[in-house]
Amino acid sequence: MLQVSNIRAHKEGYIQALKKRNFNAEDVFEEILTLDESRRSTQTQLDETLAESNQLSKEIGMLFKSGEQQKANILKEKTSQLKDKSKELSDSFNETLAKLEQLLYTVPNIPNDLVPAGTTEDDNEEIFNEGDIPVLAEGSLPHWELAKKYDIIDFELGNKITGAGFPVYKGKGARLQRALITYFLDKAVDAGYTEFQLPLLVNEASGFGTGQLPDKEGQMYHVTEDDLYLIPTAEVPMTNLFRDRMLTEADLPISCTGHTPCFRREAGSYGAHVRGLNRLHQFDKVEIVRIEKPENSYAALDGMVDHIKDLLQDLKLPYRILRLCGGDLGFTAAVTYDFEVFSTAQDRWLEISSVSNFETFQANRLKLRYKDKDGKKELVHTLNGSALALPRVLAGILENYQTPEGIKVPEVLVKYTGFKMID
């Protein structure tokens, strides 16, 4: 969530920057600033009324002590009027504040200068690619056919148990999935991230804290009776570990990692491009989250990008990195880098990670600050990335490592799987 003080100070610059997102902020900023002016004016009146009431209460006490009961009663009548006035002002203040917050929730983050202009994913900027695309033997299959051939993932059984988008991993498929999770976690821990096991359900405050609510409310599974949400990513509970915290400079940086299942409704997703593991309602992901001093956050972002590069180099998968344009940028992000693996059997790129710097956008919602060495309170910067999302990594491995004899297991995973080939 943007800070009102920053909107006031950088209004024209923010309006121009948000045009990269195709978001017209002019009218909403005017309304925000008008509401904030009303809020501040009401707060001033309320403070003055309470101060006057407190002063009269002291005078009343002194008058009663001196036996001047009549004068005291006259002042008591006035304090009663001031009490009514303060309640009206307090109600007005809270109503204005609620309207202001709801309006602020509708404004996306300001894109960083690094973000290119553009309206769709076609305008994203490729900044890096690595790895040779393998030449597959004739008759090579997409991963959903390979899964059936080698009996390692059962999409139909998952559909029977729950519905489409909830696959069942079997035998060597389940072991390969577990190997990837353990490998990703081990690499994160070795890189200095602290591992967490996290709740899979979060409350509304957590959803608002990281920006999934209200922006993606329709994409989250909602347990209505308890008003809890199934997590769409470990970013939500992991970042909310630090909600309403005042950190010290010595606490920073903070680096966290964790594996969770993730749940997304993916409403409206249909077609051949979402077959098999390409898009699921339940999937596993290892997440990395960092909390940084503002001046260090972009160096941290580069470090997270390098960490994911290292994973893909170890897996020997061909990949590329895209810097998302304004029109494709997520609501909360200031800048995002997408990693995509090339699926040779499908002849298309599959997104397998997003790494984002949210700058102060989440921290302002979370009320997450730190005291610098001079005791000044500042908002931190928060960052997160998938390291990695498993379904499309697994799809890339099955398709790119297939041979006439079976599917080879990437060398780096053999010590985790205990086998070298799925056949």
Extract the annotated binding site for L-serine.
233, 264, 287, 384
**CA pair distance 324, 338, nearest whole angstrom:** 7
> Binding site residues for ATP, as ranges?
264-266, 351-354
Give the closest residue to 177 by CA, choosing from 421, 393, 405.
393
Handedness of CA 244, 249, 253, 257 (dihedral sign): negative
Distance separating the N- and C-terminal Cα atoms of the chain: 51
Q: How far is CA 236 from the centre of its chain?
A: 6
The most distant pair of C-alpha atoms in the chain lies apart, rounded to whole Å, by 106
Q: Is 107:2 a contact under the CB 8 Å cutoff?
A: yes
Q: Is 134:344 a contact under the CB 8 Å cutoff?
A: yes
Q: Is 269:279 a contact under the CB 8 Å cutoff?
A: yes
Q: Which residues contact 376 (CB under 8 A, 6 or more apart)?
A: none
338 exposed, middle or buried (CB, 10 Å; 0-12, 13-18, 19+)? buried
What's the chain's Rg over C-alpha atoms?
A: 27
Calculate the alpha carbon distances from 36 to 12, 46, 368, 378 in Å.
17, 15, 22, 21
Residue 289 tokens, joined: 């989250």
Give the closest residue to 123 by CA, choosing from 321, 324, 342.
324
Q: Is 322:129 a contact under the CB 8 Å cutoff?
A: no
> Binding site residues, as ranges?
233, 264-266, 287, 351-354, 384
Beta-carbon count within 10 A of 104 CB: 19
Q: What is the DSSP letter of 277?
A: T
Q: Where are the alpha helices (DSSP H) in 204-325?
A: 204-210, 235-239, 297-315
**CA pair distance 187, 18, nearest whole angstrom:** 37
